Amino acid sequence: MVIAKKAPNPIDKHVGSRVRMRRMMLSMSQEKLGDALGLTFQQVQKYEKGTNRIGASRLQQIAHILQVPVSFFFDGAPHVPGSGRSEGMGEAPSPAYVSDFLATSDGLALTKAFMRISDSKLRRRIVDLVEQIAAGEKR
């Protein structure tokens, strides 16, 4: 008998990716976060992938360690049908792609380096350059 793996809940994946993003922003290893929680780095890895759901008290603990409010982990969370929002109401585009980008090591490194550039005109020229490169990729 083959048992199919259940896909992680989109909210659990989102919360996990926000945990990962914040941990990386603080340059904290999975092992260090795990030690602070009394867990193995593998357990932290499962939380970050959304494989294991983070309970309310554990999320409160993680928020304290990572120095953010619990609500931080739900910012930009995907809409799940039947979650109580009125149907038919227009929804703003999800900012999830931003948090997904920042959850990658390249995204975080690029953002940190970009924020260290004090010259606003130079930052604008970099954005223009990246937009031109991206436009060239579409062709």
Question: For the chain, which residues make up each domain, given as ranges?
Answer: 1-77
Q: Are 46 and 52 contacting, i.e. CB atoms less than 8 angstroms apart?
A: yes
Just give the CATH number of 1-77: 1.10.260.40
Q: In angstroms, rounded to a whole number, what is the distance separating the alpha carbons of residues 85 and 92?
A: 13
What does pTM read for this prediction? 0.63
Binned at pLDDT 50, 70 and 90, residue 77 comes out as confident
Q: What is the largest CA-CA distance in the chain?
A: 62
Per-residue pLDDT, 89: 46
Lowest mean pLDDT across 28-32, 92-96, 129-133: 92-96
